[in-house]
Structure 1
Amino acid sequence: MYQANKQRYDKMIYNRVGNSGLKLSALGLGLWHNFGSVDPIENQKAIIHQAFDLGITYFDLANNYGPVPGSAEKNFGNILAHDMHAYRDELVISSKAGYEMWDGPYGNWGSKKSIIASANQSLARLQLDYVDIFYSHRPDPDTPVEETALALDQLVRDGKALYIGISNYSGIQTQAIIDIFNDLKTPFIIHQPRYNMFNRQIEQDLLPVLRETGKAAAVFSPLSQGLLTDKYLNGIPKTSRAAKSTSPFLHTNQVDATIKTVQRLNEVAKNRHQTLAEMALAWDLRHSEVASVIIGASRPEQLVDNVKALNNLNFSQAELNQIDSILSQQPNIDWQAH
C-alpha cells in the first residue's frame, strides 16, 4: 500500500490563487499525455505517487484526456481509490469540458447540456463526489457566454465543484465572463492558458485582466512540447515527438527554426546553474499572476528534475533583458499547433 513521503511539503512552494483562499503547488501534474488506456498503469502510478511525494498537490485532467477519451480520468480515479484515498483532502483535482468527447451535438463545446453531462461523466470516472476546480476548456462561438457561465455556476451550487475556471479564453472573453460570474457570485478564480518563452500572447492580452480582477493563471505547455529542454539542442532525435509525423503538436520545421534560439537560451540557463527546462519553468513563475505551472511526465525521474526549478526562481533584470533579446531574434513561427 502506498504511503506518502512525510517530508512532501518541506520544499514545495504553494501560491495563492488570485484573491481566493485556495493555494496551488507551484508545479502541477497534467495528465494529458501518458495516462491513457494505451499507457502502462504501473508507470502511471509511479508518476502520480512521485508527484505527491514531491509536494505536487494539483492534478489536472479533462474529460477527453487519453487515449481513449476518458481513460485518463478513469485511470486516475482507480489509482486514487486504491492507493491515495486517504489523501483526497490534500489534493486539488480538476477536470474540464469543451473539446469533443462523444458523438453527436452534445459531446462538445459549452452548452449547459454538454457541460452538465460531461461533469457528471467525469465524476463517475474519477469516482468522486466533486472536483476542486471545473473548467470550461474553450469558449463556444455558438453558445451565449451567459449559458456557459450559468452551467458552471450550477456545478458549484450542486456541490460538484468547489471552484470554477476557464481555459483558452482571450483577455476580452475572460473579462466578459468575469462580469457574469461576479453578478452570480460564482467562485471563479483561475484561467488555464498556454504560456512559454515561444508563446507570450497572454502577457499583453490576458495577464492584465487577471491582475486587475484578482484572478490567477495555471499555465500549460511551459516547455513548448519539449523544445525548451535539452532534447533538441543538437538536432531531432529519432525517438522524439517531433520526429513522429503523427504528432499534431510539434513538427520538424518548428524544431529546425528554434535550435539556435534554444542553444542561446541554454547558455543563459547554464550561467544560472540550471538546465534549460528548469529555467523555462522558473521564467513562467516570475509573474505573480501565475499560481502554478502544469508539467507533464512520462517517467517519475522527470518530476524530480523539474522540481529543481524551484531552487532558483529569481531573475536579475540583466537576465530577463538577455532572454528578451534572444527571443526577439527568433523568426516568426506558427505556434497554433502547440
Structure 2
Amino acid sequence: MQLTLVGSHAAALPIPAPQRYWNSVLPNTPMPKSLSQLVMPDFISVGKGGVILHNPVHKEENWAYSKDSDDENARFQNDAAENAPFCVKYADIADDPAEAESLTQVEVDPNRTIFFLEKDLHPGRAMNYRLAGSGNSSTIPFLSRKTAERIPFSSSQLPEILDKLSVKPGSDEADLIKGTIQNCDSPGASDEAKQCVTSLESMIDFATSTLGSKNVLAIATEVEQGAAPMQKYTITVDGAKRLAASNIMVCHKMSYAYAVFYCHSIEKTTTYVVPLQGADGSKAKAVAACHQDTSQWYPNHYAFKELNVERGTVPICHFLKAEDVAWVTNQKPT
C-alpha cells in the first residue's frame, strides 16, 4: 500500500491531500505549526517493516516507527506517566475504579506546575511548566485519509493492526498500540463528543461538526525552537487574552505509528492565549484551558491535590502542550 508523488524537486511536489482539504474547507483559518509539520509532501507506505516515509527530495527513508530500530528517538515514546494527571476527570466513566484510582496516585511535585487557578493568569505570574512535547511521537506525521482508512483501528482488530504495521505481539510497541486503541475505544463523558481521528481530514470534519461551524480557529501552544522543555515561565506584561467562545474541542496527540489524535469537546471552558517569557530567554505563546465546572471530576483528581481545593469550587486551568490543538469558534478575543 502506498501513495506515490511524482517529481524530484521540492517546488514541483504537489500539495499533500491533507493540506488541500484544509484549504478547501477552512480557507480563512491558519494551520498551527504543530499540525503543518505533520503534513508531509512524501509518499507513505504502510506494511512490513513499519510505517515508512519515502522522501523524494532527499532520497532517503525516514522511519516514523520501526520495530527493529535501535535508535530510541525513532521509537514510540511512552507518555503515560506524563499524561496521567489528565487522564481521570469524571467519576462516572471509569470502567475500572481501581485503575482510575491508581492514576491519581502521581505524587505532587512542588517544583513543577501542572494545574493552576484562573486568577493566576496575570502579568508577572511565574510557574515551572513543561510546554514542549516529549519524545519523537510529536513529529510522527499524518497519513492521508485515503491511506489511513485502509488500516484497521479498533481493539477487535488488534492482531491485524500489528501484522499490518509489522509489530511483534507482546512487545512494548504492541502494548503502546493496544493502549492507545483501548483509550480510543473507551466511552467518553456523557456530555462530550469524542473521537480518535487518524487523519487531518477527519480532524477537520469532527471539529467543524462538533462546533457547528466552519468559521473556526485552530490554536496551539507555540514554543521557540531550542527552548528548555521544562523551565520557569513568566506571563509577560501583555497579559492573557480570553477567547469569547465558551465551548472548545481539544485534540491530544497519541503515541502511535502514525499521527492519531484523541479529540473531545469540553463545555463550560474558558480559553486563553497567554504570552510567556522563559527563564532561558525564550518566548512562548501558550493556550490555556480553564474549566469552569469541576464538580463531576474524579474526587481524587491530581488537580485538587496540587491546588489544595475541593472539586466544583473554583475554575481550574492548565496549558496545552505544544503538540495539542484546540478548536474554537472564531469570535473576537477579549
TM-score, normalised to structure 2, is: 0.26
TM-score, normalised to structure 1, is: 0.26
Relative contact order higher in (CA < 8 Å, ≥ 6 apart): 2
More helix per residue: 1
More strand per residue: 2
